[in-house]
Amino acid sequence: MSEQDNYQVQFQPIGKRLVVEAETSLYEAARESGIELSSACGGEGSCGQCRIVVLAGETTPPNFDEEFILSELELQQGERLACCTYARSNLTIQVPRESLITGQRLQIAADLAASLREITPDPLVRAVNLELTPPTLEDIRPDLQRIADALAEQYGVSGLTAEPAVLRVISPAVRDLNWRFTVLLRGQEIVGVGAWDQRPLGFAVDLGTTKIAAYLVDLETGADLAAAGAPNPQIGYGEDVISRLNHVHRNAEGGRVLAAKVQETLNELLAQLLSQVGASAGQVVDACIVGNTAMIHLLLQLPVRQLAVSPYVAAVGSALTVPAAELHLDMAPGAAVYIPPCIGGFVGADHVAMILASDLDRHDKIVLGVDIGTNTEIAIRKPGMSFLTSASCASGPAFEGAHISDGMRAASGAIEKVRITDTEVQMTTIDDAPAVGLCGSGIIDVAAELYRSGLINQRGRFQKENSRVEDGRFGTEFCLVPAAQSGSGRDVVITQKDVNEIQLAKGAIHAGLQILLEATGTAPEEVAEVIVAGAFGSFLNIENALAMGLFPELPNAQFSQVGNAAVIGAKWMLISQAARRRAEKIAAGTTYNELTTYPKFARKFAMGMLFPDE
């Protein structure tokens, strides 16, 4: 490549300068240099999230996708999609705040877990202290043998083993510690050695498609020592699961890169947790990671081709225990990672963890568990039935802000609560910043309020006769925040298309719940409780969710929100062998219902899209 084909690009207001090749899109270039632009489609030109403004310089002309997504005015103002734009000279680029995925609010469950009970620790790894006589010419037993003999005598442990990675540290470590040390034992296997009285720690992770939530836990007491969260760095390769699987399929190195990305972030989270409590990586002897089937495949770098095409088959669905070193995690040299089983080869380990932590398998009333996300998993517990039954609804990313004109994730400036009165629109934004868009809970509120105010009808149609309903650049719309008051300098609106997207999402969840009730012969009035889980769920205004018909009519149900129950379930399995056995029983004992093959699915879906009678 000649030098003329490389251009310097400066990104404002970040101030980062890059050298970009002519055939690398600005989206790709930004991602490679650590600027994470928002994207739901993984750079396919279809989601419209990676908007940038070209302030100076020449680029390729707008393509078909951009002309479809961007208004003429926006194009005139230099607005472009980074994934469709290529430099043709040195450039100055403005990155609007809503196009960045950093700074996003990451909710971890600590404050919300109060509603879930504590369990008694029963960890797989334990720590025992040893004080040994050093070798002499008369006693040249190998180091492992010397430790094995002492463990057998003092703790009744027989058949001691250690992997090479552990053997590599034992001999120098015990000499450094003058033969007075702690052995970290998983059954009869040494996981690591450390200073006298060292406490064994564990790492519990909910590996979400969008967010990663993690805990550092004292394995002996079960106490949470620290909590942290981070965006899933694979987002740059597609916000939804299928985009990421396709990326892996289309790029020879894709699987390795996506696994490395997430492993790197897990190590960063772990380092952050350890520094909060002043502990060392060598103390971390066990981990439990939950996530949906695709996230687990990507983490383990398992083949995904068969998961991405019909009939969508997992490589493995059973519980796995893999060496932490296999995942390049900086933990004790012999540490392992437990990954719970999935249900029916399809519903992920995160759902199993949610069922576990909310004790759904043990309720003595009829209880629904709903874990809302891009895929919404639902499960029903009926005390009369020996098993749980569950289903997965493709609710789509609307409640995560994607596919909505001014949708965004829960970052600064996101509208999270909305009330529409006769004269004005009242709202709360994250960080009380000027509004730039709508996050999930705001979207639910807007839909409920539009319907309550009569701005849309039961079928979700804007009532054009209402003077507040306007004709905007994308058709009929309602303006929530005029450009002059917004943080983006543009109107923040909700369009007819947006309402339709919301209806598709709620229709899927509504239909899923109805079908699961029917499939299990349950009358709606029999349901005593609905447990709503998921990071989204915890910010939900349940009253508005009911008003806009997210759930079918369940007249006698109590609603409870448990936040990110999946990470709490991961913590349970981290600290308790009994919890792992229970999770494996839950997975084996849960029937998976495929919704789309259910006879009345299409009709129920369509009905679920309607707003409920008031």
460 binds its own copies (CB under 8 A): no
Give the position of tokens 């797989």. 124
Q: Which residues of 238-264 are buried (b: 16+ CB within 10 A; e: fewer)?
A: bbbbebbbbbbbeeeebbeebbebbbe
Alpha helices by DSSP H, listed for 529-564, are 542-547
End-to-end Cα separation, the chain, in angstroms: 66
Residue 171 is a binding residue for its own copies (CB under 8 A): yes
Is residue 587 within 8 A of residue 352, CB to CB? The reply is yes
Task: Using alpha carbons, list the distances in angstroms from residue 308 to 278, 311, 346, 419.
Answer: 42, 8, 12, 41
Shortest CB 348 distance to its own copies, Å: 12
Q: Which helix (H) or strand (E) holds 601?
A: helix 601-609
For residues 51-90, one letter each, b for 16 or more C-beta atoms within 10 angstroms of the residue's C-beta and e for the rest, the string is: bbbbeebebeebeebbeebbeeebeeeebbbbbbbbbeeb
Q: Which of 13, 64, 140, 156 binds its own copies (CB under 8 A)?
A: 140
Residue closer to its own copies (CB basis): 393 or 456: 393
Min separation Cβ 138 and its own copies, Å:
8
Distance CA 87, CA 117 (A): 55
User: What is the Cα–Cα distance from 611 to 614, expressed in whole angstroms?
Assistant: 9
Report whether 356 contacts 288 (CB < 8 A). no
Q: Select from 130-138, 263-271, 278-286, 461-469 the region that touches its own copies (CB under 8 A).
A: 130-138
Asked if 143 interacts with its own copies (CB under 8 A), we say yes
Instruction: Decide if residue 180 touches its own copies (CB under 8 A).
Output: no
When the beta carbons of 145 and 457 are compared against its own copies, the nearer one is: 145
Binding mask 383-402 for its own copies (x = CB under 8 A): --------------------
User: Is the separation of the CB atoms in 474 and 405 below 8 Å?
Assistant: yes
Closest CA to 578 of 117, 224, 126, 122: 122
> Which of 55, 475, 594, 600 touches its own copies (CB under 8 A)?
594
Position among 33, 71, 77, 306 found at the interface with its own copies (CB under 8 A):
306
Mapped onto helix, strand or coil, the DSSP state of residue 290 is strand
252 binds its own copies (CB under 8 A): no
Q: Is 300 one of the binding residues for its own copies (CB under 8 A)? A: yes
Query: 364 with 383: CB under 8 angstroms?
Result: yes
Q: What is d(CA 487, CA 432) in angstroms, rounded to the nearest whole number?
A: 11
Q: Binder to its own copies among 32, 89, 102, 142 (CB under 8 A)?
A: 142
Instruction: Say whether residue 303 binds its own copies (CB under 8 A).
Output: yes
The answer to the question of residue 314 lying near its own copies (CB under 8 A) is yes
β-pairing, 51-56 vs 6-12, is unpaired
Q: Which is nearer to its own copies, 293 or 486 (CB)?
A: 293
Q: Applying CB under 8 A, which part among 77-85, 241-249, 301-309, 555-563 lies near its own copies?
A: 301-309
| Identity of the residue, 332 or 535, whose beta carbon is nearer to its own copies in the bound complex | 332
Contact flag: residue 39 with its own copies (CB under 8 A): no
Between 57 and 323, whose beta carbon lies closer to its own copies?
323
Among 291, 317, 334, 512, binds its own copies (CB under 8 A): 317
3-state DSSP call for residue 393? strand
Stated as kind and residue range, the H or E segment containing 21 is: strand 16-21
d(CA 525, CA 118): 31
Should residue 189 be labelled a site residue for its own copies when binding is judged by CB under 8 A? no
Give the number of other CB atoms < 10 A from CB of residue 509: 23
**Using rule CB under 8 A, residue 312 touches its own copies:** yes
Q: Is 467 in the site for its own copies (CB under 8 A)?
A: no
From the CB of 36, what's the least distance to its own copies, in Å? 28
The residue from 315, 479, 519, 578 that contacts its own copies (CB under 8 A) is: 315
Residue 136 touches its own copies, criterion: CB under 8 A: yes
* Environment class of 29 (CB within 10 Å of its CB; exposed 0-12, middle 13-18, buried 19+): buried
Residue 330 found at the interface with its own copies (CB under 8 A)? no
Instruction: Please select the residue that binds its own copies; options are 141, 328, 600, 603, rule is CB under 8 A.
Output: 141
Stretch of 47-55, 114-122, 308-316, 482-490 lying at the interface with its own copies (CB under 8 A):
308-316
Alpha carbon 155 to chain centroid distance? 42
Tokens of 588: 């084996």
For residues 406 and 486, give the distance between their C-alpha atoms in angstroms, rounded to a whole number.
12
276, two tokens: 């909060």
> Segment contacting its own copies (CB under 8 A): 139-147, 443-451, 526-534, 570-578?
139-147
Minimum Å gap between C-beta 235 and its own copies is 24
Of 70-78, 92-100, 337-345, 427-435, the segment contacting its own copies by CB under 8 A is 337-345
From 93, 101, 157, 162, residue interacting with its own copies (rule: CB under 8 A): 162
Tell me if 302 contacts its own copies by CB under 8 A.
yes
If binding is defined by CB under 8 A, does position 170 make contact with its own copies? yes
Closer to its own copies by Cβ: residue 255 or 512: 255
326 binds its own copies (CB under 8 A): yes
CA distance 296 to 13: 36
Kindly state the number of chain residues that form the binding site for its own copies, as judged by CB under 8 A: 46
Q: Report yes or no: 216 and 225 within 8 Å, Cβ to Cβ.
A: yes
Joined together, the tokens standing for residue 533 give 């889980």
What is the footprint of its own copies within residues 403-442 (CB under 8 A)?
Answer: none
Are the C-beta atoms of residues 106 and 538 closer than 8 Å to each other? Answer: no
User: Given the rule CB under 8 A, which residues bind its own copies?
Assistant: 135-137, 139-145, 148, 162-165, 167-172, 175, 300-303, 305-306, 310-318, 320, 322, 326, 342, 344-346, 594, 597
